[in-house]
Structure 1
């Protein structure tokens, strides 16, 4: 997948505004916009996201006032995020202009019928609905730094062990099967940046949970497991070993983990609506996604 820097410039004039491809030099400005929204991303997080995806910025008199990013998630599937319009420039239709541009990019790269997934804040819902997105679920953000270390028993023959280099392809396949999203570049980045544990039954890997630096502290995700009990066991590996450190999870609303996380001290602090345009990416057996990579990457 080409990086943003390799994309054609494709500038669009709107009054004195222009759209262009995001470059690594734009990360500092993107970081400022994200901080204004009280989003937790570090500059390093944003640089990593751009390295495996594509971005567009809207400039007005040399100032970046709008952004969006997208990532390939299959031959005809993409995820979309980091849609931000400067608060000083809202209400003038800038969000629609930027979104139209990125949707055109995705259509050119993946075809006009590409499936596109995003997680929408309440503020973004009206625009996304106008653009043909529909809600298909929700993601609940849980976080905290003061929590208990739970003990979740496993079945005979099961164990949790550190993820090794030989597990990479298997974990990638588990994530792809559970989410319907095929993201080799994202998964390669995660393996480079994250620590992982895997759940095994005999010699078969049946689940995994990755743990990495992000935002204010650490994030657990993705988490793939056969069921909620085993998902809890995987998550507990990280919670139990990192007591007192700030940890975040983004879980599907129907995961069944919310009350358990609350009991541990990882409180719910936010909610976004999962939306798709086109066909909805769907997971297959045997695993289920109990925590996502991030709200932007999905």
Structure 2
């Protein structure tokens, strides 16, 4: 069994592995994560067995894409992969109920949750925001660093280049097509749940199928009322710290679970 760094050449195999475990292929997501993170793959004679990616910020590391092929499931490979990227610093991840016990054994503890929603938004547009431009980059990064607690300019550079950023007087919401048929909305930073709902309306209206991961009861009720369905919860977990960084009272949705 070989453990080595993943490269762009491995993306098709990573996407195949995702699909085999009932995750979307999302090759654009794999490319983004491997561009800005440290990806590791476990290989046997038949090919890719398992993956994980660690995205290192100055303040902490985000662990993601922990997948193991069915033929090698329940043999300790997920533990090996995650243990390989952990260090003495702070780490965070989003865990399914199936994966949570393993992460608890590795020192993570749950400090919150997110509820995955997807569907076609059927509500009205709010017209409370405008689209940000390249000149807004520094302000977006500064706001995100304050609220999320991590410094990640590449996230906003990506959104400004291939997506959109909706800005109001009470917050911001990013949106980009992770694949042609799905618009992912996030991150969402907003002063109140109502402000978050207004930003979601502007980002989602007329854009077909959307996905976003939210935890505010008011926001959950809003998106369910307007066409989106819940696909299950994930626990937000942290290691080597007592709480998530930043001003989480205004953090309404992640960019991607893989990046926070």
TM-score normalized with structure 1 length? 0.82
Question: Does the 8 Å contact 1:144/1:267 carry over to 2?
Answer: yes
Shift, 1:62, TM fit: 5.6
Q: How does 1:126-275 map to 2 (within 5 A)?
A: 126-145=101-120, 147-150=121-124, 152=126, 159-200=128-169, 206-215=170-179, 216-242=181-207, 245-251=208-214, 253-254=215-216, 256-275=218-237
Unaligned runs of 5+ in 2: none
- C-alpha distance in 2, partners of 1:168/1:255? 30
Shift, 1:268, TM fit: 1.0
Shift, 1:70, TM fit: 1.2
Question: Does the 8 Å contact 1:174/1:207 carry over to 2?
Answer: no
- C-alpha distance in 1, partners of 2:84/2:259? 19
- C-alpha distance in 1, partners of 2:176/2:41? 27
Question: Does the 8 Å contact 2:194/2:219 carry over to 1?
Answer: no
- C-alpha distance in 2, partners of 1:254/1:148? 20
Question: Does the 8 Å contact 2:16/2:25 carry over to 1?
Answer: no
User: What SS does the aligned partner of 1:27 have?
Assistant: helix
Q: In the alignment, is residue 101 of structure 1 matched against residue 84 of structure 2?
A: yes
Cα RMSD of the aligned pairs, angstroms, is 1.8
1:91 corresponds to which residue? 74
Question: Does the 8 Å contact 1:59/1:65 carry over to 2?
Answer: yes
Shift, 1:190, TM fit: 2.7
User: What SS does the aligned partner of 2:143 have?
Assistant: helix
TM-score normalized with structure 2 length? 0.93
Shift, 1:152, TM fit: 4.6
**Larger Rg computed on CA atoms:** 1
Q: How does 1:41-120 map to 2 (within 5 A)?
A: 41-61=25-45, 63-73=47-57, 75-103=58-86, 107=87, 112=88, 114-120=89-95
| Alignment CA distance shift 1:193-1:68 (3 Å) | same
User: What SS does the aligned partner of 1:67 have?
Assistant: strand
Q: How many residues align?
A: 258
Shift, 1:102, TM fit: 1.4
- C-alpha distance in 2, partners of 1:76/1:196? 24
Unaligned runs of 5+ in 1: 1-16, 154-158, 201-205
User: What SS does the aligned partner of 1:282 have?
Assistant: coil
